[in-house]
Amino acid sequence: MYKSALLISKKNIGRGIITLISLIILFTNILTATAQEKKNLFYEDFNDLDNWRPISFPKIKKNTIYTIVKEGNKNYLRAESNDSASALVNIKEFNVYEYPKVKWKWKISNVYKNGNETEKSGDDYPVRIYILFKFDYENASVLKRIKYSIAKRIYGEYPPHTTLNYIWANRKHTINILTSPYTNESKMIILEAGPEKSGMWLEEEVNIIEDYRRAFSSDPPATASLAIMNDSDNTGESSVSFIEYIEVYK
């Protein structure tokens, strides 16, 4: 009797140990998968603008005003445009193949009534997030070297090789990828459109590589950086937009 009870007890202990080991392995795998699933390169929550540099445009007289505002325990980037245009460019470059995902949260006061994404006269947006792909002079064609060198003389630096331009469009479209009316090397991807969600915080998440392939039918250059803009120089209107955070990760 005692021998049987002891055998049963040993079996139960053995099963308990196996169950415990299985749970540990399962939990470890979950933690490992979670760590691999999302690894931040950086998380910008706008405590300051130390990692951003302003970019203005020679022919545009008024700059958009970018400030940090604080509400409770959170900071926000506030972008106020009034017949103006300028941008903020993040000083950190990153490899899009290593960190292809970007996520952010934004809000606008209003869209531009005369905004028209297909014409230069209406090419204004209350908020947009750029992915700027770095121009590689050494591997560029002769014609591109000449073209980009001229642009460098005007702006003081080489323009991007290409850009993805995630926009809050002023009106709805039947397609969600548009070519900039200024250049074929900039593709605009519509994430939100129209005034219906004005005043609401919305979270966006994008995959840079997938979007680039859809927009340009090719693989993107490896090196990129971020930029933010609220512009109204073409429509002459005004708008205020906010960004709570921007995250780059894999």
Domain ranges of the chain: 1-37, 39-249
Mean per-residue pLDDT over the chain, rounded: 87
- Do 187 and 216 contact (CB within 8 A), yes or no? yes
**Span 1-30, average pLDDT:** 48
The mean pLDDT value for 91-98 works out to 96
pLDDT confidence bin for 135, thresholds 50/70/90: confident
More confident: 120 or 29: 120
* 39-249: CATH architecture: Sandwich (2.60)
Mean pLDDT check: name the lowest of 1-15, 40-54, 129-143, 159-173.
Answer: 1-15
Residue 22 vs residue 40, higher pLDDT: 40
What does the pLDDT read at residue 31? 44
The pairing of strands 186-193 and 162-169 is parallel
Average pLDDT on 200-220 reads 98
Bridge partners, 245 (sequence order): 105
Q: Rounded CA gap, 240 and 210, in Å?
A: 30
Res. 56: pLDDT tops 70: yes
> Tell me, what's the pLDDT at 12?
52
Residue 202 pLDDT more than 50?
A: yes
* pTM, rounded to two decimals: 0.81
Q: Residue 138's pLDDT is what?
A: 72
- The average pLDDT across 148-177 equals 86
pLDDT surpasses 70 at 28:
no
Distance CA 163, CA 183 (A): 10
C-alpha dist (Å) from residue 99 to 41, 80, 158, 213: 7, 30, 23, 16
Could you give the CA distance from residue 111 to residue 171 in angstroms, rounded to a whole number?
8
Asked whether the predicted pLDDT for residue 46 surpasses 50, the reply is: yes
- How far CA 203 is from CA of 59, 70, 146, in Å, comes to 33, 19, 40
